[in-house]
């Protein structure tokens, strides 16, 4: 494949790939038209050079072109996803999943994109499965769940069957590649709002740029002191996207009335502990650092969805809701 050879030559010189060239290469990769050797060299070359917003956007665009897309416009023209990249190595509580369930219980439409655990102990799919919440497989089921419960979990392997072609390569490479960034950009429902955490601070601006250029209505890309969440362990960098504009801010725990904590306070040692903690968070009344982290992220999601309230006001709402807990029964439909 001459185009792939051209791309590899550029990558050896640490040159960025233009959108068209990157698009053709990723399409060849997903179609299985390039050798495993070239595919591995391509992915490693991108990682060593550092993936640009344009390259990430091209990869996401191609991946979505091979996906089973879901049109939620009729039932959820305003909807949010809280999917992060993962990969921060912190083995922390699955905050984004808790936030998504709280949002749905508060009446917001949530299309949560996720997968099983890859680098952590417990991924969003592991939690959702343990809670007994259904995994819809067809568009009609997604729409039905959104109408009846405000929540639909989109299990990545179900809606991205083409990824099965690149899975063996990723496993054999055994190092992070651009695919470790793509999850939050591949929600097949393309929601209007997004809270996206990145575990590697270098990708904060590129990921925000992709969301802005894609036309997301409001979003926040966050990196919290080494976490792909807003965290009470330290300051969090945030890039806000609103109607095509981007601005950056720093959120400290103190600015939201929260005390700083240690990383150990947020750590879950295994899957069982993570699920047990999720049960306690959803029950309501929990205090301490885990509650604080969920509240901070829930506040940011509310701030994105409710354009007439401040982040501080959203934090007050979040803390009150976390005291109440959620109605678990609303998610168990037949």
- Predicted pLDDT at 77: 97
- Domains by residue range for the chain, with CATH: 2-50 (no CATH), 80-331 (3.40.1030.10)
State pLDDT tens for residues 15-57.
999 989 999 999 999 998 999 999 999 999 999 999 999 999 9
Residue keyed to tokens 């969003």: 124
State pLDDT tens for residues 216-271.
999 999 999 999 999 999 999 999 999 999 999 999 999 999 999 999 999 988 88
State the Cα–Cα distance between residues 141 and 40, nearest whole angstrom. Answer: 37
State pLDDT tens for residues 112-150.
999 886 655 678 899 999 999 999 999 999 999 999 999
State the pairing for strand pair 218-224/110-114: unpaired
pLDDT mean across residues, the chain: 93
Q: What is the pTM of this model?
A: 0.95
State how far Cα 314 lies from the chain centre.
21
Cβ 246 vs Cβ 239: under 8 Å: yes
In order of 163, 292, 298, the CA distances from 253 in angstroms are: 38, 9, 14
In order of 51, 180, 212, 260, the CA distances from 57 in angstroms are: 10, 14, 11, 35
Q: What is the DSSP string of 232-271?
A: TTS-EEEEEEETTEEEEEEE-TGGGT-----GGGGB--SH
State the Cα–Cα distance between residues 329 and 331, nearest whole angstrom. Answer: 5
Q: How far apart are the first and last CA of the chain?
A: 50
């Amino acid at each position: 494949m001459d185009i792939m050879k051209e791309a590899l030559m550029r990558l050896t010189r640490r040159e960025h790939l233009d959108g068209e060239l990157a698009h053709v290469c990723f399409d060849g990769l997903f179609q299985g038209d390039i050798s495993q050797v070239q595919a591995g060299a391509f992915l490693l070359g991108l990682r060593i050079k550092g993936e640009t917003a344009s390259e990430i956007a091209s990869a996401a665009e191609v991946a979505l072109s091979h996906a089973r897309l879901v049109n939620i416009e009729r039932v959820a023209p305003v909807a949010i996803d809280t999917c992060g990249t993962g990969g921060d190595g912190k083995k922390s509580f699955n905050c984004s999943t808790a936030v998504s369930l709280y949002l749905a219980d508060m009446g917001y439409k949530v299309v949560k994109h996720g997968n099983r655990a890859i680098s952590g102990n417990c991924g969003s799919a592991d939690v959702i499965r343990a809670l007994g919440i259904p995994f819809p497989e067809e568009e009609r089921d997604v729409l039905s769940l959104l109408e009846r419960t405000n929540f639909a979990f989109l299990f990545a392997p179900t809606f991205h069957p083409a990824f099965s072609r690149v899975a063996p390569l990723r496993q054999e490479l055994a190092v992070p590649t651009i695919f470790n960034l793509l999850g939050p950009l591949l929600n097949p429902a393309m929601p209007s709002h997004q809270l996206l955490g990145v575990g590697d601070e270098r990708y904060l601006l590129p990921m925000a740029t992709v969301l802005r250029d894609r036309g997301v209505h409001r979003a926040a890309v966050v990196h919290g002191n080494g976490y792909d969440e807003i965290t009470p362990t330290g300051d969090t960098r945030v890039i806000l996207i609103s109607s095509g504009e981007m601005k950056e801010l720093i959120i400290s725990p103190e600015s939201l009335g929260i005390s700083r904590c240690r990383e150990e306070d947020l750590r879950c040692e295994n899957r069982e502990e993570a699920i047990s903690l999720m049960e306690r968070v959803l029950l309501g009344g929990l205090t301490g650092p885990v509650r604080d982290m969920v509240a901070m992220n829930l506040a940011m999601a509310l701030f994105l969805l409710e354009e007439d309230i401040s982040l501080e006001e959203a934090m007050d709402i979040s803390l009150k809701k976390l005291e109440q807990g959620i109605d678990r029964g609303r998610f168990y439909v037949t």
